[in-house]
């Protein structure tokens, strides 16, 4: 009896010790081949700064297509990883059905899906959104980002791949206490604010924006340069007036002192308003006096326009029926529809970007790393300047023999140690801030000033991602937002967009064709085995006790 008591006591002690070890040491193991549930160092660094409760509400609950149950499961599993890493993160899934109007007012638009089940097509509406709250701030996260995909299965894969970047980016934005500063350059005929509203209003949600004019360079260039260096990034959107030598040195030294730059430039004057008003226009070279500056960084923007057979459409009046004007959407080869570099975080998974009267970029050999971001299709034609462009040319059938110029570069990322364009030259003014080079700097050059220009409808700006006439959708806004994030990214956050996962998708056609076999295997076979076991067990039992 004493021995039994002794064994029970040791058993209880062992259970207590095991329970203590279990509570003290906790470890999750990711056994997936692509390490799907292993958080990156970037994400872990962001989570370490969440020192107060952060609430994540996900609107993926309720009755929706079976394949998007996968997105619900993957989202839940990923958020559980975040919650495990930091207990301040609280997760909640909600059914959006009773609050649809409220969600739409808060910017969470529903997605309409075409669902195929048992060989039949039907429509379903889901709200693929999450909302993050931290203190008094809230931010929404799209769980189904826009991308040009061949199927819903591919769309689902892109959505799952985007989970870590989407949530990490949102959490980083909502917890940061100090925003980086962006200067919107003015004074050289740049785009008016209303034409940049769609793009800049999104940028302003994450960064501090301020207008900055170079006009004071003429009277006090030293102070102007000092003021400019307080910014982290300059946005230069379609200047139309020449830069003076003092202004160029100011920009050059902003870069040499570590400032990032996003250039959106037109080296050709092509006025589309004049084209639509008069039916024709004269396109001619525009001299911005920036050639030597860009040349020192390893880039030349040519004074040629590029026509591309893969182009966006424009709406043209083709006649009238009664009192109604009839419009038709026709391909306009001067508006290339260009693809992004699929291997870079800025352009991965974005929709094609619409350019308007874009120029071609040449890159020059130097020590700067150059990454192409936007490229035309191979079916292009270069148009020299000056030239007359007529709207009626849209009716001419394109000849394949004319479109043989190959792929053309429209946007390029430059990274490295930039030499000052005034390193061995006489300077327009002296400054104590002069640097001969910049260490590990970045800039992006886009040979189209209208890439960030939104349209105006009834006096109000429209969404940059959609054409108000043709209703086509483009990746312009996503491209520019990613570009800004990349230039200002010090922790490698945007590199998470390059994450690739292998999602095993059910073959619907095969499942439909073999549904009878699998129904039998899952329902009929277990019943047969159960019946056989019962019959066999009863037979053996009777023989044993006979």
pLDDT in tens, 150-171: 566 777 888 888 899 899 989 9
Lowest mean pLDDT among 102-111, 326-335, 467-476: 102-111
Measure the CA–CA gap between 503 and 95, rounded to whole angstroms. Answer: 26
Task: Please state, rounded to an integer, the average pLDDT across all residues of the chain.
Answer: 87
At 316, the pLDDT band (50, 70, 90 cuts) reads confident
Measure the CA–CA gap between 85 and 82, rounded to whole angstroms. Answer: 5
Measure the CA–CA gap between 301 and 265, rounded to whole angstroms. Answer: 9
Measure the CA–CA gap between 189 and 271, rounded to whole angstroms. Answer: 14
At 120, the pLDDT band (50, 70, 90 cuts) reads low
Whether the Cβ atoms of residue 370 and residue 306 lie closer than 8 Å to each other: no
CA–CA–CA angle 251, 362, 312 (5° rounding):
95
Q: Is residue 546 part of a domain?
A: no
Residue range 338-360: average pLDDT?
A: 93
| pLDDT (0 to 100) of residue 33 | 61
Torsion of CA 368, 369, 375, 379, to 10 degrees: 80
| pLDDT (0 to 100) of residue 114 | 67
Please indicate, yes or no, whether residues 147 and 202 belong to a single structural domain of this protein: no
Bridge partner residues of 282 (DSSP) = 388
Measure the CA–CA gap between 288 and 465, rounded to whole angstroms. Answer: 28
Residue range 427-449: average pLDDT?
A: 94
**218 closest CA partner among 260, 255, 188:** 188
Q: Is residue 10 part of a domain?
A: no
Lowest mean pLDDT among 215-229, 399-413, 496-510: 496-510
Residue range 281-304: average pLDDT?
A: 94
Name the domain boundary from 117, 144, 175.
175
Please indicate, yes or no, whether residues 171 and 186 belong to a single structural domain of this protein: no
Please indicate, yes or no, whether residues 396 and 253 belong to a single structural domain of this protein: yes
Q: Is residue 289 part of a domain?
A: yes
**437 closest CA partner among 301, 296, 299, 300:** 296
Three-state SS string across 199-227, please?
A: HHHHHCCCCEEEEEECHHHHCCHHHHHHH
Measure the CA–CA gap between 171 and 141, rounded to whole angstroms. Answer: 10
Domain span at residue 222 reads 181-498
Please indicate, yes or no, whether residues 151 and 196 belong to a single structural domain of this protein: no
Please indicate, yes or no, whether residues 383 and 432 belong to a single structural domain of this protein: yes
Residue range 349-354: average pLDDT?
A: 91
Measure the CA–CA gap between 175 and 160, rounded to whole angstroms. Answer: 24
| In the chain, % of residues over pLDDT 70 | 89
Please indicate, yes or no, whether residues 143 and 213 belong to a single structural domain of this protein: no
Please indicate, yes or no, whether residues 214 and 148 belong to a single structural domain of this protein: no
End-to-end C-alpha distance for the chain, whole angstroms: 41
Residue 158 sits in a domain of what CATH number?
3.40.30.10
**How far is C-alpha 104 from the chain's CA centre?**
22
Take residue 458 and report the two structure tokens written for it.
């009834």
pLDDT in tens, 448-458: 999 999 999 99
Please indicate, yes or no, whether residues 400 and 356 belong to a single structural domain of this protein: yes
Measure the CA–CA gap between 36 and 499, rounded to whole angstroms. Answer: 9
pLDDT exceeds 70 at position 507: no
Please indicate, yes or no, whether residues 40 and 88 belong to a single structural domain of this protein: yes
Q: Is residue 517 part of a domain?
A: no
Please indicate, yes or no, whether residues 129 and 206 belong to a single structural domain of this protein: no
Domain count, the chain: 2
Please indicate, yes or no, whether residues 161 and 32 belong to a single structural domain of this protein: yes
Name the domain boundary from 175, 194, 225.
175
Residue 372 CB: number of other CB atoms within 10 A?
Answer: 18
pLDDT exceeds 60 at position 100: yes
Name the domain boundary from 130, 148, 175.
175
């Amino acid at each position: 009896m004493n021995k039994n008591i002794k064994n029970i006591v040791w058993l209880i002690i062992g259970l207590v010790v095991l329970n203590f070890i279990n509570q003290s040491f906790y470890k999750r193991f990711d056994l997936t081949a692509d390490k799907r549930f292993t958080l990156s160092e970037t994400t872990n660094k962001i989570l370490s700064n969440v020192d107060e409760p952060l609430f994540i509400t996900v609107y993926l609950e309720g009755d929706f297509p079976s394949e998007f149950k996968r997105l619900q499961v993957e989202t839940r599993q990923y958020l559980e990883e975040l919650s495990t890493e930091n207990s301040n993160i609280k997760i909640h899934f909600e059914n959006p059905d009773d609050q649809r109007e409220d969600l739409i007012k808060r910017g969470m638009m529903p997605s309409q899906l075409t669902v195929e089940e048992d060989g039949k097509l039907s429509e379903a509406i889901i709200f693929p959104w999450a909302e993050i709250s931290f203190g008094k701030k809230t931010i929404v996260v799209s769980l189904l980002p826009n991308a040009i995909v061949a199927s819903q299965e591919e769309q689902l894969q892109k959505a799952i791949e985007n989970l870590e970047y989407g949530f990490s980016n949102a959490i980083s934005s909502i917890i940061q206490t100090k925003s980086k500063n962006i200067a919107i350059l003015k004074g050289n005929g740049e785009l008016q604010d209303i034409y940049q509203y769609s793009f800049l209003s999104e940028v302003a949600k994450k960064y501090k924006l301020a207008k900055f004019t170079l006009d004071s360079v003429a009277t006090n260039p030293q102070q102007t340069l000092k003021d400019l260096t307080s910014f982290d990034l300059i946005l230069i959107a379609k200047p139309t007036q020449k830069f003076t030598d003092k202004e160029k040195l100011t920009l050059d030294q902003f870069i040499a002192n570590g400032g990032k730059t996003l250039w959106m430039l037109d080296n050709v004057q092509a006025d589309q308003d004049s084209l639509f008003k008069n039916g024709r226009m004269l396109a001619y070279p525009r001299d911005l006096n920036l050639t030597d500056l860009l040349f020192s960084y390893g880039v030349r923007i040519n004074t040629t326009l590029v026509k591309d057979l893969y182009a966006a459409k424009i709406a043209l009046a083709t006649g009238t029926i009664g009192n109604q004007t009839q419009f038709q959407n026709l391909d306009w080869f001067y508006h290339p529809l260009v693809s992004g570099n699929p291997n870079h975080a800025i352009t991965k998974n974005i929709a094609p970007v619409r350019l308007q009267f874009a120029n071609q970029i040449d890159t020059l050999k130097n020590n700067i790393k150059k990454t192409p971001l936007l490229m035309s299709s191979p079916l292009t034609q270069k148009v020299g300047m000056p030239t007359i462009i007529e709207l009626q040319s849209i009716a001419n059938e394109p000849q394949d023999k004319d479109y043989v110029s190959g792929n053309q570069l429209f946007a390029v990322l430059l990274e490295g140690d930039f030499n000052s364009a005034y390193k061995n030259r006489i300077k327009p003014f002296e400054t104590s801030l002069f640097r001969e080079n910049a260490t590990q700097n970045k800039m992006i050059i886009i040979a189209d000033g209208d890439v960030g220009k939104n349209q105006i409808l009834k006096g109000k700006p429209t969404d940059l991602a959609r054409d108000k006439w043709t209703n086509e959708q483009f990746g312009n806004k996503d491209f520019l937002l990613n570009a800004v994030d990349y230039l200002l990214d010090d922790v490698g956050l945007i590199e998470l967009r390059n994450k690739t996962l292998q999602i095993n998708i059910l073959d619907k056609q095969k499942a439909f064709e073999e549904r009878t076999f699998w129904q039998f295997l899952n329902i009929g076979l277990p019943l047969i085995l159960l019946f056989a076991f019962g019959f066999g067990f009863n037979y053996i039992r009777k023989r044993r006790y006979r």
